[in-house]
Amino acid sequence: MSWKTRELINEGTANLRGSAFRSILLAAICAAAFGGLAFAEVRQAADLSAFAASYREAGAHIAVVSLQGDGIPGSRCEALRWEQGVIGAGAWRSAGQVSFASAPGVLFQAADVTPGILAVWSPGERFDSGAGVIAGMALAAETGLRRGLMVRFLENEPMVVTGVAELAPRMPQATRWVLGPVSPSGFFDECWVEFEPGVSEAGKASLAARFATGAADPVVRPVRRSDEFTRDPAAEWESRPQKHGWVAVTIALSGFIVAAAWFRRSEAALYMATGTGRLELVVMSAAEHWPIVALGWCIGYSYAVSAHLSWGEGAAMDFVRHAAVTSGAAAVLLLPASACANALIARGNIAALLKDR
């Protein structure tokens, strides 16, 4: 018997419709396998991304430069803000201690800060550049200060509070400080520089040369030492267990499809008894199983992304792409395996296979 390609495809889709329970069961198994693999990829990517973000927020890519003697030139420090690969830079210097007129017995540390350092100490917040003072969060909570209030220091004119800064993550000792924005002219105690992650190490290494003088060598230290964090996101991602999970998923699903074909081996033998060749069985099996694999991947992948989003976490394009590539590789590899299932089962004596009904 000779089959046309269209007839083989029609016969395969008829088998798909005729075995509805089997088709639904295989689609559900494929969806569970593909979805589990995609979900594992999305969850680990999100976890490592969150850790890397917290690492950056804690000041992982910030270097602090100090210089004995006169100190750090503020203008040179502020100029780093415009360098490529630098997120922010600024300087600060101690301005002694101050007391509020309303609480003369309590001393607070005061500091002069250049405009750029506020973006390093408290990223994401905006402060007025006009005359006034900025209070650390702990100081504001202790004294009741808030933005817009007038505050009077002993032996000083009243000043307006232009902002309250959350400094604890990067500069915890400054949470009880009174910060006075000043111009970058003159010398300062320290220069803080935050780099882009990709140029952090090279940038930190170049700072000493930028501030070197003949009198003394500058001291460069990181805000956060690398040994404070026991996880390496890049190494964890490369060694993740599901990285090659698409191979295991393909093998497992191939086993299910071959097992399902084995229970229908008499049908394959009947086709062969009427003159159907093995290549024609492959085309027929592809028409029957490929829609199942495609539907299973679409459902499983969509469910994995939806389940991740239901946890209240966003799904960045990188997460979605990695999950699609890993689970999609398993689906693509399963296509030829599923197409060959009937041809692999229909082996041996046709008469004996016809009796296995």
**Residue 42 confidence (pLDDT):** 87
**What are the C-alpha distances in Å from 177 to residues 143, 160, 231?**
12, 15, 33
The reply to whether the predicted model has a pTM over 0.85 is no
Residues 48 and 96 occupy one common structural domain: no
Q: Is residue 259 part of a domain?
A: yes
Residues 90 and 171 occupy one common structural domain: yes
Residues 211 and 336 occupy one common structural domain: no
Residues 264 and 166 occupy one common structural domain: no
Mean pLDDT by 10 residues, the chain (357 residues): 74 81 91 92 84 80 87 90 90 87 79 89 76 86 82 74 86 89 91 88 84 80 69 77 86 88 70 70 84 93 85 68 88 88 65 52
Residues 216 and 98 occupy one common structural domain: yes
**Residue 68 confidence (pLDDT):** 84
Residues 202 and 66 occupy one common structural domain: yes
**What are the C-alpha distances in Å from 134 to residues 143, 149, 180, 193?**
13, 11, 6, 20
Residues 167 and 255 occupy one common structural domain: no
Using CA atoms of 82, 87, 91, 92 in order, give the dihedral in degrees to the nearest 10: 150
Residues 67 and 203 occupy one common structural domain: yes
- Of 223, 248, 277, the position where a domain reaches its end is 223
**Residue 6 confidence (pLDDT):** 83
Measured CA to CA, the distance from residue 116 to residue 106 in angstroms comes to: 29
**Residue 281 confidence (pLDDT):** 79
Measured CA to CA, the distance from residue 231 to residue 159 in angstroms comes to: 46
Measured CA to CA, the distance from residue 42 to residue 36 in angstroms comes to: 10
**Residue 273 confidence (pLDDT):** 64
Residues 177 and 216 occupy one common structural domain: yes
Residues 198 and 241 occupy one common structural domain: no
**Residue 355 confidence (pLDDT):** 56
Count CB-CB contacts under 10 A for residue 173. 10
Residues 190 and 107 occupy one common structural domain: yes
Q: Is residue 228 part of a domain?
A: no
Helix (H), strand (E) at residue 181: strand 178-181
Phi, psi dihedrals of residue 348, rounded to the nearest 5°: 95, -155
Considering its fold, how many domains does the chain have in total? 2
Domain carrying residue 109: 62-223
Q: Is residue 246 part of a domain?
A: yes
Q: What is the C-alpha end-to-end distance of the chain, expressed in Å?
A: 23
Q: Is residue 229 part of a domain?
A: no
Residues 80 and 163 occupy one common structural domain: yes
Q: Is residue 188 part of a domain?
A: yes
